[in-house]
Amino acid sequence: MSWDTVIGLEIHVQLATKTKIFSGASTAYGAEPNTQACAIDLAMPGTLPVLNKQAVNYAIMFGLAIDAEIGQVSAFERKNYFYPDLPKGYQTTQLEKPIVGRGNVEIQLADGRTKNVRIHHAHLEEDAGKSLHEGNFNSSFSGIDLNRAGTPLIEIVSEPDMSNAEEAIAFAKKIHSIVTSIGICDGEMSQGSMRFDVNVSVKPSGSDTLGTRTETKNLNSFKFMEEAIKREVARQIDVIEDGGTIAQETRLYNGETKVARSMRSKEEANDYRYFPCPDLLPVVVSDEQVEELRRNLPELPDARQARFVEQYELSEYDAGILSSDAAMANYFETVSSACKNPKLAANWTMGELSARLNSQDLSIGNSPVSAEQLAGLIVRIADNSISGKMAKEVFEAIWAGEGSADKIIEARGLKQVSDSGALEQMVADVLAANQAMVDDYINTDEAKRKKKLGGFMGQIMKASKGQANPQQVNQILAQKLNELL
Amino acid sequence: MLHPLNLIGLFMVPYATLIQGIYRAELTDNLMSIERREIEKLATLSRIAINEETINEVSQRLGSVLELVDQLQAVDTDGVEAMSHPMQATQRLREDEVTELNRREALQAIAPETEDGLFLVPKVIE
């Protein structure tokens, strides 16, 4: 029997505000525990929340980016549950009147197809703090760090429009691309800036009735999300084919151990007893405010991709990769305008640089090689000062902090010899010193002579300490050998 | 949609979650005798300890609140848009500027247990 998979996503996006959603405490990442948790974040008696204007604007910008209805009046509710990293005993969130209504996101798939994923809504809410279960304290305790408590989030809720892991990943990446392009989120997955809850169900192929779904919570990488979906789909099909039924439940997936487990069943589901938050008045968004945000909305990934194809004559594929990540797109444009060579700028940004960054788990924002430095290197490749092989050496040296390409080329004596007089002399010297190879070349069938060229090239490059321009040497060598025939 | 009960929530915030739970449990037709297990469930959800001696009294008191709710329910609200706040005012917004500085020492001085800047609580693992 064949099965259809139905997937919906809930995505938590941390907004890139300087301060919390309801207090003036900093949201900077990586501070000492509880140094950015003020009396409001700690729910001290007598404190009241005051809503952050930038958080509201960022939420509206997301709505504009997905062509959604913007709620002119939105309101906050309290979602009640008890957990030590939630000091108030409730999360302030939106339920009845979210700030962003229905919208649409188009995803591109590997086979070139596109698909529309509907957004049900997106709402503003606050993040909780962090519970640490191991540390420099008695093991009968948990440690609570409330620096993250009150960090503004938007929760984006999709319709169940995805039918396999590939589509879900493409959608998640598209949301990542949109929120980083419009600058409302830093997109740092390793710091928890985006977290995914995945709703999965299966049904017999072609059936109109949805199966029972499970929710796998708090996935923080595309890779873990893909694994979790594939495992959950396989598990559900196994259970049903063995005559069992799927229980509606919340699950957790551990990306390190590759093990998923049930967290709570529907019977144990929290009863959140939502009600309107009396501390916050309705939020009214004016048409002028929306129009101003629309006018100033940064370029969206799809528009940027089209512009890269048009302006820099890149392939759709290359333009798609570069524009999918706002930081990478900005980096590429800086390199390209500094070196005036978009094709090489694209190749080096997506190739050598990305590979090197990935190998050390660095984001492009933290690249040891600046855009200006990469542009300096590309200028020297383009004007034939250095060969491709030398370029890799120079790149490594820039990465290691040795300075600009020109400085490294000078210091290491790497300059490629492209002076034709000097190269001709070099070729003549090598031919004179290797008479046996020359005789062998002359006595070889014409069809096979080409293979013999490699030996001469090796000698010449060795004699030049790798600095001879290979294309030029090739030409001169062929010409000189022909003259001997 | 919002229940008229939400209005009560506005001035009875400490009890609102408890009352909401009862209301949603649809036991309003038998106000004076809310079932014991419902009281116990709601007490658990609200983390309020209710002992044997007081359970009847709590049941009666909550029942009388629900009577009030029933009176409100009797009002014809057809065509009236549900409101989330009784005041005709809208939320003021603040600029995104850091105004709260680190006061960890003072804030942790009143905590029962701390270590390395963390608040310590009895072990929780979900």
A50-54, A159-163, A253-257, A292-296, range with the lowest pLDDT: A253-257
Cβ-Cβ contacts under 8 Å, B47 against chain A: 82, 89
Cβ–Cβ of A143/B115 closer than 8 Å? Answer: yes
Question: Minimal Cα distance from B104: which residue of A?
Answer: A35
Partner-chain residue, chosen from A35, A54, A84, that has the shortest CB–CB distance to B124: A84
Q: Which helix (H) or strand (E) holds A291?
A: helix A287-295
SS3 helix, strand, coil % of chain B, rounded to 5? 50, 10, 45
Q: How far is A53 from chain B (nearest CA, A)?
A: 5
Residue A121 pLDDT exceeds 80: yes
Residue A317, chain B, CB below 8 Å: the answer is no
For testing the chain B interface, which of A20, A95, A271 should be mutated: the one with the most B CBs within 10 Å? A271
Residue B6: the pLDDT is 44
The average pLDDT across A112-118 equals 94
Distance separating alpha carbons of residues A220 and A252, to the nearest angstrom? 12
Partner-chain residue, chosen from A44, A51, A140, that has the shortest CB–CB distance to B93: A51
Count how many pairs of residues, chain A against chain B, have C-beta atoms within 8 Å: 160
Cβ–Cβ of A36/B13 closer than 8 Å? Answer: no
Residue with tokens 């490629």: A416
2-61 of B, contacting A, C-beta below 8 A? 2, 5-6, 9-10, 13, 16-17, 20-21, 24, 45, 47
Distance separating alpha carbons of residues A354 and A331, to the nearest angstrom? 11
For testing the chain B interface, which of A54, A138, A142 should be mutated: the one with the most B CBs within 10 Å? A142
Contact A322/A364 with Cβ under 8 angstroms?
no
Partner-chain residue, chosen from B5, B9, B45, that has the shortest CB–CB distance to A278: B9
Residue A72 pLDDT exceeds 70: yes
Complex-level ipTM: 0.79
Instruction: Tell me the pLDDT of chain A averaged across its residues.
Output: 92
For testing the chain A interface, which of B114, B118, B126 should be mutated: the one with the most A CBs within 10 Å? B118
Residues of chain B with pLDDT under 70: 1-34, 126
Of A236, A282, A295, A288, the closest CA to residue A262 belongs to A236
Partner-chain residue, chosen from A40, A132, A281, that has the shortest CB–CB distance to B90: A281
Residue A138, chain B, CB below 8 Å: the answer is yes
224-263 of A, contacting B, C-beta below 8 A? 263
Q: Which helix (H) or strand (E) holds A337?
A: helix A326-339
The average pLDDT across A311-330 equals 93
Residue B17: the pLDDT is 53
Percentage of chain A exceeding pLDDT 70: 99
Cβ-Cβ contacts under 8 Å, B26 against chain A: none
CA angle A188, A39, A184 (to 5 degrees): 25
Cβ-Cβ contacts under 8 Å, A24 against chain B: 94, 97-100
Cβ–Cβ of B117/A139 closer than 8 Å? Answer: no
Contact A112/A309 with Cβ under 8 angstroms?
no
Q: How far is A140 from chain B (nearest CA, A)?
A: 5
Partner-chain residue, chosen from A132, A135, A282, that has the shortest CB–CB distance to B84: A282
B99's tokens: 């105004």
A164-168, A172-176, A193-197, A250-254, range with the lowest pLDDT: A250-254
Identity of the highest mean pLDDT range in A133-142, A286-295, A447-456, B39-48: A286-295
Q: How far is A182 from chain B (nearest CA, A)?
A: 18
For testing the chain A interface, which of B98, B110, B113, B115 should be mutated: the one with the most A CBs within 10 Å? B98
3-state secondary structure A414-452: CCCECCHHHHHHHHHHHHHHCHHHHHHHHHCCHHHHHHH
Residue A48: the pLDDT is 95
Residue B26: the pLDDT is 47
Partner-chain residue, chosen from B91, B92, B117, that has the shortest CB–CB distance to A34: B117
- Of residues A122 and A139, more confidence is placed in A122
For testing the chain B interface, which of A38, A48, A58 should be mutated: the one with the most B CBs within 10 Å? A38
The tens digit of pLDDT for each residue in A229-249 reads: 999 999 999 999 999 999 999
Residue with tokens 């070196």: A339
Contact A215/A251 with Cβ under 8 angstroms?
yes
| C-alpha dihedral, A161 to A100 to A123 to A92, nearest 10° | -160
| C-alpha dihedral, B25 to B29 to B33 to B37, nearest 10° | -20
Residue B23: the pLDDT is 52
Cβ–Cβ of A34/B10 closer than 8 Å? Answer: no
Distance separating alpha carbons of residues B100 and B118, to the nearest angstrom? 19
Cβ-Cβ contacts under 8 Å, A54 against chain B: 95-96
Residue B28: the pLDDT is 45
63-122 of B, contacting A, C-beta below 8 A? 84-85, 87, 89-100, 102-104, 107-108, 113, 115-122
Residue B27: the pLDDT is 44
CA angle A270, A132, A225 (to 5 degrees): 65
46-105 of A, contacting B, C-beta below 8 A? 50-56, 75, 80, 82-84, 89, 96-97
Residue B31: the pLDDT is 45
Residue B55: the pLDDT is 86
Cβ–Cβ of A275/B6 closer than 8 Å? Answer: yes
Name residues whose C-beta falls within 8 Å of residue A153's C-beta, 6 or more positions apart in sequence.
Answer: A12, A13, A14, A15, A21, A124, A125, A126, A127
Cβ–Cβ of A50/B24 closer than 8 Å? Answer: no
Question: Minimal Cα distance from A41: which residue of B?
Answer: B100
Residue A467's pLDDT band (boundaries 50, 70, 90)? confident
Query: Which domains are seen in chain A, by residue range?
Result: 3-290 (no CATH), 299-398 (no CATH), 420-484 (1.10.10.410)
Residue A302 pLDDT exceeds 60: yes
Residue A348: the pLDDT is 96
For testing the chain A interface, which of B100, B103, B110, B126 should be mutated: the one with the most A CBs within 10 Å? B100
Contact B3/B23 with Cβ under 8 angstroms?
yes
Question: Minimal Cα distance from A26: which residue of B?
Answer: B98
